[in-house]
Structure 1
């Protein structure tokens, strides 16, 4: 399995590419990360036109989705979170001066705690001063970013919200009547969220990124006398959270791998035991550093991501499922890598290889990311709100907590005497842990299903069965006691079956081409002369499922787009009287049934169910739309993508 490791790691790295780069690979669907917009930002001005050399107020308007909140510019002494900062990119000669913000109100923080912050819609004012040498008639673009931590009762996510506003230069300023009430209401903010830092003053625009005084006064959480205590507390919580991860359902199955390895190591020289512990720790540290580095890099590019973001990528989740599933089959004894029980730990170099310990550390981190152990949620929130190096420090502490039990055994090898001696029990233990590993694979499969299409879920499950069959072929016939000819055939069949299973299982994006069928929707579309194609189907109908491959035909999809056909799916998986009535009107008592409603024709065309369902059969029916009445102008059809 050594030769497969670089390929798997490469796929994991590709799955972490930012959406902008992934969009360049249209043949590999499902790579784009899922992003949300819990808060939006825009810039408004109290003047619609400004005069050269004048001062005026602008405000960053933040609109929060329900249950979400952000923080003020200064945190309470005993508070956690991240101060909100406005970073400006002003033209040369412009200055920004801090103004008091509205007082934050009590919100429901993460984990049921109470905190002070902003929710719903809030306006954060700033005073801008234009240079005197502006030319009347010019347009000036004001740009900036709101750097904040947005939270709901379950989690927090660092977010950077860019905004911009173009404003014209006139001989005299013109009041923006549409924003008059907003700025009038902001006049009562005096002292509400003022900045008492002695560095408060004006920020001068130089054409580069600049910050308001709030940025210089509160950008680092370490200011104030109470903050060092909070940092120490968060570091302790980070370590404890990492330690407790070892018994969380996500990580515990992997420890079965390490336990068998540790028992085997009890017979080795203490120095060798220490090297294994350090290799395992290095695997955890490297994987944590890689995840945090990629996370911080993507955040710097404007991605709105939080811890565990990589599992929002269908491809990353798929590779995780693949690795854990194959590990589980290996532990169950379906196939072996090497002849010893410790081969289950991915013994890449034979007996208790250091590379195996390193890889086990990588795997422990991989499966740990969906888990938020006690004490860890707050530490993650705090760490993700920090700049790169402080954030790296916090995640290093979490990683050391995860590795701590085995570090203790590495530096105090005499403790290994407390463990049972190697023996036949290890094989039983390994196989018992296989069920936990397969349960973890089932969980990650369920998580992946939320990212892919309905029929992609079906293909995923079928594909995993073929991958298991490939592992069985390998374990049954690629063994040292088999003749060379048999082993060659086994490896060829293993590769073919695995490739087919991988092709079946690879994640396909959710399909937005089809709408849910209803008689009312059909009547509405037909009244507008929109061609309608209806697929009467069900999950339990095997023929229906086989027919779905027809709709993937590129020529057929092109025809659907050409004729502006709306695709409707009538799902009869559960009892539906409307579908039963519709089939009765068609004199049909079984499915699949496929219909095409041609504008201008009273009765639909029924695609002949007595001949093989092929793309050419459907395209032949679509050709009758060539001379059909066109859809009423302004009607939008839902067509295949």
Structure 2
């Protein structure tokens, strides 16, 4: 078919899309909003807190001399931020430093947190005034220059600040630090923060945490005499291991402190070492602002095997396997040879998810085009001709499969690489870029016009290039596989969610194996059609129907363009969507003019290209410009915009919550929204049970939503979660039926 001539151009555009999405992700990560701070300021003020970048260099910036940086936060009354382990909800404070060569920032010396109970939840965080000190190493190679008087310190910090509601905030800080003179003005604040950090136990004494059923039997020797016989509080540094809010018992046996603490039913790791901080309970409750709270840090060794991850009602077996695999990996028990059963289950889930992807509206037209192409390849007359046709068919099937597999692996490697670099992204991240959405809309417009017969790509290219597809049909099949992955990436099919969530937590080789299994599932129908003679014989023989099928397939492509324009409208507003439509009309004019012949082509092509250049200059900025975000709420169905910690806050008041993690570019999300979530019986059931409805819109890049998805063991949307007081959250299937949702609501 003639559309094959376009595949080389399509592959180049797909590669450009990947590079554009990667660069956009990195750029957006550096375009954070500073709250109340001018460029170059060391202070950021919000309605909820005041943050300031401080330094302490009593001997100047010199190798071998102490240098401390820190972020001081003064909370408004009633507001708090979070410790390294936020507890049952919340997000820890994140600090990202940009320092001159020769300076290296260490880890945060976290001060002892406070317990912050919220209903049935227990969080760990900070109120009032506090300082997060960070030691900085000055290398012997540090050379600021003979004329340099100071150095520049840049910090990008992000935090979640909460009271009744939680708000993600961030700020950019800049500080000019003198090199040779002393900077000891903040010495008292850093000294107080240093004293507030947990202290190591004397003589390196540690402890032990022996798993016992769904509890940990903890024993810690060598605690200071001032703590002996006292009731202690325990702060685990590893999140989601201990049931923080559940009751537990403790006792003293001489100088040995013991406790029996329940394990979290949603445990996501099983560490071999469990660091904890111990502090006198009465001191923790009576402490005032600035008062000393001596805490002691112990690294508890876990000698025995952890109990299996407790099954959570409503969680799919694939997600359950993902949790168990995460636990095994964290404990160092994941094998490097044969994969564990949990990993095999994830690979099977990815394979099934990829297979179902072929039925998604955004993928099925590509599959149909390829199968029609197989019909042409499968035609042969005579024994020799039939054998050559069979070999050609198999070669094309293998090439298509290779294109799909390598593209999925490349996309997975890009996603994992960006996550390792600190980017909060997940499956479908490239569709969060307006530039990528617009480029895909242009690609599908060209394919649709070609399928409809408006032009032929062979007329646009020199004859030497136009005939390449005849000499290299295998390369065309490979590029068709690349194109299939480009259109499949926004979709999430059943079984995919838990598998991709696990892939984000696995070592790179196993993670890429999950992506490869997903690609194999997507390519499987074409691979089987090309290698199984019975399937090949079942395909209809070439004929006039192929031209009709070709033109018919143009309409799903046009529908895909409509969907992409709508997605861009969610990102860039109605003006951005209108600008994209104008550019698509200009693109159609260019390809039509290029398909003309003779003098008409010369004049019309030149004029249309000039017009297109003018349209790009005028309208492209509007297309890629993000419109101001608006809360994803719907008053008619009581939907409210999701915020970090909002679900937990509502559940703590005794009310159940249903959360819809969605995105405009997610086809499955939109199908569920227009069918199951808009069903009158479902809405009546939700109202009868007084269920609060929250919608987390991931259309744009949102690190808080990414973190929430990761905590649920997922890496993309859709995700549907039902929270109820006193119970773990229930995860519902990606393709959500009315019966499934009504059954879950009935169980509240």
- With normalisation by structure 2, the TM-score equals 0.45
1:350 aligns with 2:470: yes
1:193 aligned residue: 236
Relative distance call for 1:246 and 1:491 in structure 2 (3 A) is farther
Write out per-residue CA displacement over residues 152-178 of structure 1, whole angstroms, 9 at most, x where no aligned residue: xxxxxxxx9999999999799846799
1:251 aligned residue: 363
1:460-479 to structure 2, matched below 5 A, reads 460-474=580-594, 477=596
Q: 2:626 & 2:359 partners in 1: Cα distance?
A: 43
2:21 aligned residue: 16
Relative distance call for 1:223 and 1:299 in structure 2 (3 A) is closer
Write out per-residue CA displacement over residues 170-216 of structure 1, whole angstroms, 9 at most, x where no aligned residue: 79984679989x989xx9994452566348699xxxxxxxxx999x9
User: Is the contact made by 2:111 and 2:193 (CA closer than 8 Å) also made in structure 1?
Assistant: no
1:286 aligns with 2:291: no
Question: Which of 394, 418, 421 matches 1:274?
Answer: 394
Q: 1:358 & 1:17 partners in 2: Cα distance?
A: 23
2:440 aligned residue: 320
1:126-141 to structure 2, matched below 5 A, reads none
User: Is the contact made by 1:50 and 1:174 (CA closer than 8 Å) also made in structure 2?
Assistant: no
- Note the C-alpha offset of 1:411: 3.2
1:183-222 to structure 2, matched below 5 A, reads 190-193=233-236, 197-198=272-273, 222=329
1:366 aligned residue: 486
Relative distance call for 1:75 and 1:487 in structure 2 (3 A) is farther
- Note the C-alpha offset of 1:34: 9.8
Q: 2:117 & 2:516 partners in 1: Cα distance?
A: 34
1:527 aligned residue: none
Write out per-residue CA displacement over residues 31-89 of structure 1, whole angstroms, 9 at most, x where no aligned residue: x6897799x9x9999x99899999x9x9999x9xxxxx99986999xxxxx99999999
Relative distance call for 1:328 and 1:278 in structure 2 (3 A) is same
1:507 aligned residue: 620
Relative distance call for 1:511 and 1:189 in structure 2 (3 A) is farther
3-state SS of 2:550 partner: helix
Give the stretch that moved more between structures: 375-384 or 254-263.
375-384
1:305 aligns with 2:417: no
Q: 1:285 & 1:10 partners in 2: Cα distance?
A: 15
Q: 1:433 & 1:116 partners in 2: Cα distance?
A: 55
Q: 2:330 & 2:627 partners in 1: Cα distance?
A: 54
Q: 2:94 & 2:440 partners in 1: Cα distance?
A: 37
- Note the C-alpha offset of 1:441: 1.3
2:345 aligned residue: 233
1:401 aligns with 2:406: no
User: Is the contact made by 2:87 and 2:124 (CA closer than 8 Å) also made in structure 1?
Assistant: no
3-state SS of 1:349 partner: helix
Q: 1:376 & 1:490 partners in 2: Cα distance?
A: 48
User: Is the contact made by 2:580 and 2:623 (CA closer than 8 Å) also made in structure 1?
Assistant: no
1:497 aligned residue: 608
Relative distance call for 1:220 and 1:246 in structure 2 (3 A) is same
Relative distance call for 1:496 and 1:403 in structure 2 (3 A) is farther
Q: 2:591 & 2:104 partners in 1: Cα distance?
A: 65
Q: 2:56 & 2:103 partners in 1: Cα distance?
A: 16
Structure 2 residue ranges without an equivalent (≥5):
35-43, 60-64, 76-80, 138-149, 160-169, 199-226, 239-270, 278-296, 303-322, 335-339, 380-387, 460-465, 629-748
2:557 aligned residue: 437
3-state SS of 2:493 partner: coil
Give the stretch that moved more between structures: 230-239 or 271-280.
230-239
Structure 1 residue ranges without an equivalent (≥5):
23-31, 64-68, 77-81, 108-114, 132-138, 149-159, 203-211, 340-345, 478-485, 516-641
Q: 1:125 & 1:256 partners in 2: Cα distance?
A: 61
User: Is the contact made by 2:576 and 2:624 (CA closer than 8 Å) also made in structure 1?
Assistant: no
Relative distance call for 1:4 and 1:372 in structure 2 (3 A) is closer
Q: 2:600 & 2:371 partners in 1: Cα distance?
A: 35
Write out per-residue CA displacement over residues 207-262 of structure 1, whole angstroms, 9 at most, x where no aligned residue: xxxxx999x99997513499744433332222222111111111112122112112
Q: 1:404 & 1:71 partners in 2: Cα distance?
A: 47
1:382 aligns with 2:482: no
Q: 2:502 & 2:171 partners in 1: Cα distance?
A: 19
Q: 1:394 & 1:163 partners in 2: Cα distance?
A: 40
Relative distance call for 1:249 and 1:119 in structure 2 (3 A) is farther
Q: 1:326 & 1:170 partners in 2: Cα distance?
A: 65
Q: 1:379 & 1:367 partners in 2: Cα distance?
A: 20
3-state SS of 1:508 partner: helix
1:567 aligned residue: none
1:613 aligned residue: none
- Note the C-alpha offset of 1:503: 4.5
User: Is the contact made by 1:103 and 1:193 (CA closer than 8 Å) also made in structure 2?
Assistant: no
- Note the C-alpha offset of 1:369: 1.6
Write out per-residue CA displacement over residues 358-405 of structure 1, whole angstroms, 9 at most, x where no aligned residue: 121111111112111122223223323445444322222211221122
Relative distance call for 1:213 and 1:432 in structure 2 (3 A) is farther
1:223 aligns with 2:343: no
- With normalisation by structure 1, the TM-score equals 0.52
Q: 1:18 & 1:452 partners in 2: Cα distance?
A: 18
Relative distance call for 1:130 and 1:458 in structure 2 (3 A) is closer
Q: 1:392 & 1:503 partners in 2: Cα distance?
A: 43
1:637 aligned residue: none
Question: Which of 239, 242, 246 matches 2:354?
Answer: 242
